[in-house]
C-alpha cells in the first residue's frame, strides 16, 4: 500500500514539474517560452524565472517557519504576501523543509482559493460566479470588467495593472451580484454604479500616473 502511495506521489511530482516547465507543450510552443506572446502564457502557464531576491525571500520564510507546527500553510501565506503568488520554486523549498513532496504542497495550494500560482496585477477584481450572483447577472459584470480593464477572466491584463478573478460564493448572496475591488466589497454591483465607477476611476488614475512616468 505504501509502495503504491509512493509511486503515485512520484508520478504526481513528475506531472507537476512538467506542468510548470512546459515539457508537455513543446509541440505547440515554437518560442521556447522566450517571447512576450508565448502561447504557454496565453494558456495560463507562468514561465518566468525567479530573480535572486525572490529566491532569498523564499529561503528566509522557509527558515523562519520550518520548526513550527503546521508550517506549510504559514510559509505559503507568507510567500504569497511577499511575492504576490506562489512560484514552483517555493513549493519545492517548502516540500524539502517539511519533509513532504512538491505534489503534496501543490495539492494544498490548489485546495485553498486564496493561493495562486500566477502573479497578480496591481489591482485585483473578483466577480462572484456563485449561483445567486450568476442568476443576477454576474456574467454581464465579467464582460464589463473585461472591456474596461483589458483583463480576461482569471487572467491579468497585458499591462500588469488588473487581474480579473471569477470566484465561488463570497457569502453575501443577499447582495448579489457581489464583486470585490482590491479587498473592498460591492453589492448589487450590476444595478449600482459604484462598482463600475470605481474601476473607471482606477483606470483614469493609472493612465495619469503612466503619462507622468
Ligand atoms: S453566490 Fe455570490 S455571494 Fe453567494
- Nearest atom (ligand 1) to Cα of 172: 3
Same domain, 107 and 10: yes
Q: Give residues (CB < 6 A) around ligand 1.
A: 128, 130-133, 169-173, 176, 178
91-129 pLDDT tens trace: 999 999 988 899 999 999 988 877 888 888 999 999 999
Which cell is 94 given? 517548502
Give mean pLDDT, residues 41-58: 68
The verdict on pTM exceeding 0.85 is no
158-213 pLDDT tens trace: 999 999 999 989 999 999 999 999 989 999 999 989 999 999 999 999 999 887 77
Where does a domain end: 84, 111, 138? 111
Q: CB–CB of 148/203 below 8 Å?
A: yes
Same domain, 98 and 162: no
Contacts (Cβ under 8 Å, ≥6 apart) of 63 = 97
Same domain, 84 and 133: no
What is the rounded distance in angstroms from the CA atom of residue 66 to the CA atom of residue 158?
Answer: 36
What is the rounded distance in angstroms from the CA atom of residue 197 to the CA atom of residue 193?
Answer: 6
Has residue 128 been placed in a domain? Answer: yes
Domain range for 35: 2-111
Helices assigned H by DSSP within 66-193: 71-83, 88-98, 102-111, 131-135, 138-149
Same domain, 130 and 91: no
Where does a domain end: 90, 111, 132? 111
Has residue 205 been placed in a domain? Answer: yes
Same domain, 204 and 182: yes
Query: How far is ligand 1, taken at its centre, from the CA of residue 179, in Å?
Result: 9
Pairing of strands 155-156, 179-181: unpaired
Query: How far is ligand 1, taken at its centre, from the CA of residue 138, in Å?
Result: 10
Same domain, 99 and 8: yes
Has residue 117 been placed in a domain? Answer: no
Query: How far is ligand 1, taken at its centre, from the CA of residue 65, in Å?
Result: 35
CATH number of the domain where residue 203 is located: 3.40.30.10
What is the rounded distance in angstroms from the CA atom of residue 121 to the CA atom of residue 149?
Answer: 11
78 SS3 class: helix
Nearest CA to ligand 1 atom 1: 130
Whose cell is 523543509? That residue is 97
Has residue 46 been placed in a domain? Answer: yes
Q: What is the dihedral of CA 181, 58, 35, 46, to 10 degrees?
A: -60
Q: State which of 126, 133, 195 you would mutate to test the pocket of ligand 1, scoring each by most atoms of that ligand within 8 A of its C-beta.
A: 133
Total domains present in the chain: 2
Amino acid at each position: 500500500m505504501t509502495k503504491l502511495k509512493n509511486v503515485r506521489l512520484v508520478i504526481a511530482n513528475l506531472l507537476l514539474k512538467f506542468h510548470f516547465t512546459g515539457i508537455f507543450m513543446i509541440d505547440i510552443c515554437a518560442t521556447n517560452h522566450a517571447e512576450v506572446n508565448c502561447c504557454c502564457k496565453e494558456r495560463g502557464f507562468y514561465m518566468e524565472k525567479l530573480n535572486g531576491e525572490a529566491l532569498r525571500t523564499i529561503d528566509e520564510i522557509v527558515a523562519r517557519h520550518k520548526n513550527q507546527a503546521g508550517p506549510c500553510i504559514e510559509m505559503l501565506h507568507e510567500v504569497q504576501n511577499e511575492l504576490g503568488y506562489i512560484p514552483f520554486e517555493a513549493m519545492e523549498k517548502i516540500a524539502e523543509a517539511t519533509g513532504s513532496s512538491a505534489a503534496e504542497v501543490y495539492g494544498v495550494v490548489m485546495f485553498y482559493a486564496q493561493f495562486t500560482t500566477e502573479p497578480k496585477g496591481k489591482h485585483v477584481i473578483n466577480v462572484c460566479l456563485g449561483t445567486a450572483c450568476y442568476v443576477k447577472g454576474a456574467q454581464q459584470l465579467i464582460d464589463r470588467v473585461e472591456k474596461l480593464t483589458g483583463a480576461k477572466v482569471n487572467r491579468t491584463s497585458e499591462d500588469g495593472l488588473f487581474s480579473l478573478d471569477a470566484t465561488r460564493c463570497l457569502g453575501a448572496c443577499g447582495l448579489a451580484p457581489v464583486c470585490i475591488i482590491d479587498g473592498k466589497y460591492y453589492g448589487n454591483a450590476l444595478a449600482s454604479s459604484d462598482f463600475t465607477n470605481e474601476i473607471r476611476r482606477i483606470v483614469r488614475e493609472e493612465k495619469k500616473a503612466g503619462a507622468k512616468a
